[in-house]
Structure 1
């Protein structure tokens, strides 16, 4: 659809937007461009100034100017219930104003144009970014019009309006899934569940319930894809087996009769009378490990449900370039490979990378999540030496000491990269893995900045060794 056809979509509607970061600012500007009256607020002065520069009406939102508002669009990181609702969210709920995600408004806008574009949603504790990007890549290679984003990449209200032949591939966080009202995902995937964001959801049951919202409003024309490699997800699949959506169970670890799984480095569609070998993962540079095998199986299930055949899916998987900060090779120096897995912000995510290497030099730490690194004990024998950074360094050192794992408290990432290289080059060929098992916020604004710093420090070491190169 042309931009000229969009402005009337929300004419006469009124929205409040709170949180003017990447997603919130995109929501405020797009809603205004569609003819809505928008009032916006952010608790940070710099964000308010940036929004004003974009022509957004910045207003201190109070109960009186929430009256008559059709919805409050609350940025995902801002709570509306636990651990404590933002004051504007509390006022909105008292006034009966719906609190919505920008994905909900994208869906309404697309349907307001008459487009029947299909929506594919992907969630899970880990792997959702890779699966979303892989699905979008497969669909584009097959010639479909695709827009990908939401929690990954461009925010929902920065995406184009697609025609009826288009597909939206949307990464959905638990925060976003709690703020949906009418959207129905034609194809939806829930990959895995492990403890995360419990402060926002109260407990594991609340977190699982938030993830399950991705299947709300599905009917017999829709497909529900569920990973069954962990007990909570397998239980969710059992709950969904009675429909109404068609259920496809997927696994990266074992055969799933009637589902799609990975076995011996191949993605197998076992839903028909004869299993179909869809694609090879043997030696795939951007999809290593059983967790990525599950991601590939899930993307295959979603693509199949959207009408693609095995040949098109195999083509897309074979040339998938991967995502930055997810087991991304960034340098090789004197036989030492540097792997950037900065996206691993919790122990479960780090376990997936640790499981890919029989011996490694591990950089970990940051702002710890609940449980620390104790769940990673089965992988400790693989660690030649750990190099610890950030707030969690002391606690992680205690855990590793008790397990007899060699470690050094490096403090900063720059120091850790140098320390790890000095140790690893004595055993080359070797791997230095940044997989922090922590949030980044103690030393970096986000995991992307942390990963970029890791690559930069590795590149600086490579520059000191002219015969060695930085991976492209």
Structure 2
């Protein structure tokens, strides 16, 4: 039995596992899908695995899984579909179409985790965080606060380990889960003890049809939630009316005044003492994490020292080097203009490295912050398009092409007091396997410069 299973933690479960006798198709065998198929099999399910990629199918066969295309002959109770594979828009995967035609649910990993935990007899708590931006930081920060206060907590979902690689926690433990719209629209029985909707701006509209569809998917996190933490910065989030207790990220809930985090009872923390939480967007993240932590039993007095010791996340305004008065910041996770705006607003003068596969609108929405850009170095497929936008606003720039060239030029251009900021406002697929690979290279190059 793998470490962390229910029996090892003294939590009971039905004979044969929580999914004994259930026929489950798992489609999409990436870094989360294959472990999920294995875990469901360990939990008693009759699993059939499939991936459109032959190499991944071969890996599943080597793991002893039954491999067959469920779309050819649907005979299953449920479909676990990788989040990146559509089940409705823009066009359903054939396996999803077969499941829907048969009236079988298309579910996310989180749903299976929730069912397994409850079937094991555990009343472990579920805390969910969603929003267009800030999810990862808030998720990691809340887990940090809970563990620092002596509670058992694990974080995952869209962040960190795959959901079905997580252990079955006992009563009093907390799953802290970053929830994408893709995962949320595939929930059924799962509800959250505490849920946060941080913010909303247009994203993933190809998958949800329009902004109303995106809002519906995101708002699923609030269904049945005991406590709902709601951002107040956009009309979509403010318009939500959840049934449980509502804690706004504003007066009447938890909010910030400059660097001071507070609630109705008084100050909670001085965010100027929290170097890994710069900028107003991180004030919102800290407010959300603090509100959720308070709802989960963390004492007020514990918050300030724990916020000050939060280590931060890789690729999210990660301070990777400092040399000659120049700070190097890895914000590779900023794959759209909305995310990059948060980083640009955090520093008064930057040498900005941007570019890659841009989203609709490019960097034009960032024009109000261009005055902070001492020089821009543009990389990737849409570097030239970004250059045209900057030229129209009189911003000094050059097309560096590659990240290696951009870092070399940044070293020559940055003056003491500047921040060399990788905040690409674009996806990375044109040159990297993901934003994490892009950020890892930037960190290594920046630290070589620091040697």
Q: TM-score, normalised by structure 2?
A: 0.95
Partner of 1:467: none
Q: Among 418, 431, 441, which residue is 1:443 paired with?
A: 431
Q: Among 110, 113, 126, which residue is 1:106 paired with?
A: 113
Provide the rounded CA distance (Å) in 1 between the counterparts of 2:285 and 2:292: 11
The alignment yields a C-alpha RMSD, in angstroms, of 1.4
Secondary structure, aligned partner of 1:247 = strand
Secondary structure, aligned partner of 2:116 = helix
Residues 55-454 of structure 1 aligned to structure 2 (within 5 Å): 55-64=64-73, 66-67=74-75, 69-218=76-225, 222-236=226-240, 239-240=241-242, 244-250=243-249, 256-270=250-264, 275-424=265-414, 427-454=415-442
Provide the rounded CA distance (Å) in 1 between the counterparts of 2:189 and 2:308: 36
Provide the rounded CA distance (Å) in 2 between the counterparts of 1:437 and 1:415: 18
Compute the displacement of 1:312 (Å): 2.2
Provide the rounded CA distance (Å) in 2 between the counterparts of 1:345 and 1:257: 31
Partner of 1:469: none
Unpaired segments ≥5 residues, structure 2? 1-5
Compute the displacement of 1:193 (Å): 0.8
Secondary structure, aligned partner of 2:316 = coil
Secondary structure, aligned partner of 1:379 = helix
Cα-to-partner distance string for 1:249-283 (whole Å, 9 max, x where unaligned)? 10xxxxx321110113121112xxxx321122114
Provide the rounded CA distance (Å) in 2 between the counterparts of 1:330 and 1:3: 39
Question: Is contact 1:267-1:280 (8 Å) kept?
Answer: yes
Provide the rounded CA distance (Å) in 2 between the counterparts of 1:56 and 1:406: 56
Secondary structure, aligned partner of 1:461 = helix
Secondary structure, aligned partner of 2:121 = coil
Provide the rounded CA distance (Å) in 1 between the counterparts of 2:187 and 2:101: 19
Q: TM-score, normalised by structure 1?
A: 0.91
Between 86-95 and 176-185, the greater mean CA deviation after superposition: 86-95
Provide the rounded CA distance (Å) in 1 between the counterparts of 2:388 and 2:420: 21
Compute the displacement of 1:343 (Å): 0.6
Question: Is contact 2:69-2:95 (8 Å) kept?
Answer: no
Question: Is contact 2:127-2:192 (8 Å) kept?
Answer: yes
Partner of 2:3: none
Partner of 1:2: 7
Cα-to-partner distance string for 1:126-174 (whole Å, 9 max, x where unaligned)? 1110000010011011111112101000011010001111111000000
Question: Is contact 2:273-2:308 (8 Å) kept?
Answer: no
Compute the displacement of 1:58 (Å): 1.8
Question: Is contact 1:11-1:34 (8 Å) kept?
Answer: yes
Provide the rounded CA distance (Å) in 2 between the counterparts of 1:406 and 1:55: 57
Compute the displacement of 1:90 (Å): 1.1
Compute the displacement of 1:441 (Å): 0.7
Change (3 A) 1:60 1:3: farther
Question: Is contact 1:104-1:182 (8 Å) kept?
Answer: yes
Secondary structure, aligned partner of 1:282 = helix
Cα-to-partner distance string for 1:404-462 (whole Å, 9 max, x where unaligned)? 111110111111111111111xx223211000011111111111101001111212323
Cα-to-partner distance string for 1:8-42 (whole Å, 9 max, x where unaligned)? 22111110000001121121011001111100111
Question: Is contact 2:107-2:187 (8 Å) kept?
Answer: yes
Partner of 1:253: none
Change (3 A) 1:333 1:50: farther
Between 178-187 and 6-15, the greater mean CA deviation after superposition: 6-15
Residues 15-26 of structure 1 aligned to structure 2 (within 5 Å): 15-26=24-35
Compute the displacement of 1:3 (Å): 4.7
Compute the displacement of 1:62 (Å): 2.7
Provide the rounded CA distance (Å) in 2 between the counterparts of 1:112 and 1:57: 25
Partner of 1:466: none
| Count of matched residue positions in the alignment of Structure 1 and Structure 2 | 442
Question: Is contact 2:251-2:263 (8 Å) kept?
Answer: no
Question: Is contact 2:151-2:173 (8 Å) kept?
Answer: yes
